[in-house]
Amino acid sequence: MSFQDSGAMMAMTGNARGKMKKHWHVMTLIVFVAMSVGCENSEHDALVGAPEKIPAISAPDPEMMRLWIDSCALCHVTGVGGAPVAGKVDDWAERLEQGNEMLLQHTIEGYNNMPPLGYCMACERDDFAALIELMTVGSP
């Protein structure tokens, strides 16, 4: 009798649970954005006045999402070690005032608790710039 036929289940390790939880957060964000982009109620708008239009964002490149999940999400989902949370405007405002070039330099060289290259040893300079843009969507 094989292991699969025995009905036994392997216990999920803490690392596997953490990865599943991390993927769950990212997928929830993607689903929320995708669902909210198509929402419109013209009849309601005519009654109360049209709200200010929010520019739609396009879905992130799947390769960028993979890089983000594999390296950035570890800290930028919850703010571990003081990392700015992805998409949280207040966390990014002061950093963005320094300019994209400074953010890129901090990402490549490391800054405070962020290690050099931010856990993405395979990333190129353009990848880091795209990942920063992905995390700062909605920030000024």
pLDDT, tens only, 97-123: 999 999 999 999 999 999 999 999 999
32-83 per-position pLDDT tens digit:
666 665 555 555 555 566 556 655 556 778 999 999 999 999 999 999 999 9
d(CA 44, CA 53): 14
Helix (H, G, I), strand (E, B), or coil: what is residue 9? coil
d(CA 133, CA 22): 20
Contact, 69 vs 23, CB < 8 A?
yes
Q: What are phi and psi of 3, to 5 degrees?
A: -60, -40
Amino acid code (one letter) for 60: P
Whole-prediction pTM value?
0.58
16-40 per-residue burial string, b: 16 or more CB within 10 A, e: under 16: eeebeebeeebeeeeeebeeeeeee
Question: pLDDT at position 14, please?
Answer: 57
101-138 per-residue burial string, b: 16 or more CB within 10 A, e: under 16: eebbebbeeeeeebeeebebeebeeebbbbbbebbbee
Instruction: Decide if pLDDT at 95 tops 80.
Output: yes
Burial (Cβ within 10 Å: 0-12, 13-18, ≥19) of residue 73: buried
Contact, 21 vs 73, CB < 8 A?
no
